[in-house]
């Protein structure tokens, strides 16, 4: 988990003029993330953590803070590992 946090923090630091971003800080409210960064954040999460962010994942809570992003990535990764439910 710490490794994920570090990667996300390092990525976001490029857009926050290297100001320290705490793990529970609201990255949208702080202005770190605008639409161009939001797009890059999605690409980064998908490429770095090998998940796909789908339309149903577009919830503010999933991306609000470093902690929330990590929790989201872990939920997605766990869902990938779960066997499909047979009808």
Q: What beta strand segments (E) does the chain contain?
A: none
Restricted to residues 31-50, the positions that interact with other proteins (CB under 8 A) are 34-44, 46-47
Number of H helices, E strands in the chain: 4, 0
Least Å from the CB of residue 62 to other proteins: 10
The DSSP line for 20-31 is ---TTS-TTTTT
Instruction: Report if residue 10 touches other proteins, rule: CB under 8 A.
Output: no
Q: How many residues lie near other proteins (CB under 8 A)?
A: 21
Q: Which stretch binds other proteins (CB under 8 A): 1-9, 53-61, 65-73, 74-82?
A: 53-61
Least Å from the CB of residue 81 to other proteins: 22
CA angle at 71 for the pair 87 and 45, rounded to the nearest 5°: 90
Nearest to 44 by CA among 24, 19, 73: 73
Residues in touch with other proteins (CB under 8 A): 11, 14-15, 34-44, 46-47, 55-56, 58-60
């Amino acid at each position: 988990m710490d490794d994920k946090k570090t990667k996300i923090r390092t990525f976001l630091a490029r857009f926050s003029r290297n100001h320290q971003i705490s793990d529970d800080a609201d990255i949208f409210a702080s202005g770190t993330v605008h639409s161009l960064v939001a797009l890059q954040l999605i690409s980064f999460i998908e490429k770095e953590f090998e998940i796909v962010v789908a339309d149903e994942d577009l919830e503010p809570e999933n991306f609000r803070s470093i902690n929330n992003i990590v929790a989201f990535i872990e939920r997605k990764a766990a869902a990938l590992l779960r066997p499909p439910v047979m009808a």
